[in-house]
Chain A
Amino acid sequence: MSILNERIQALLQDSGTAKVLATVDKQGLPHIVSDPSISVNNEGQIIYLELIETSQSNVNLVNSIWFKRKVAIHLSKGEESYQIKGYPAYSVICGPVFEHYYKLSLERNPEFDLSTVWIIEADEITDDTYAARKNKEREKHPLITHLDRLAK
Chain B
Amino acid sequence: MGTVILLALTGLGLAALYFLVASGLSLVFGLADVLNFAHGLFLGVGAYGTWWAAGNLPGAGPDGFGFVLAVAFGVAAGTLVAILVELVLIRPLYSRTIEQVLVTVGLSLAGVALLQATWGADARPFPRPDWTRQVTGILGAQVPNGGLLLIIAAVLVLGAILAFLRWTRYGLVIRAGVENREMVTALGIDVRKAFTLVFAIGGAAAALAGALGGVYFGTVSPGQGSSLLIFAFIVVVIGGMGSVVGSAYAAVVVGLVQQFVNYYGTSGLGDICVVGLLAVVLLLRPQGIAGKVATA
The reply to whether chain A is a binding partner of chain B is no
Chain A contacts to B: CB under 8 angstroms: none
Question: B: which residues have CB within 8 A of A?
Answer: none
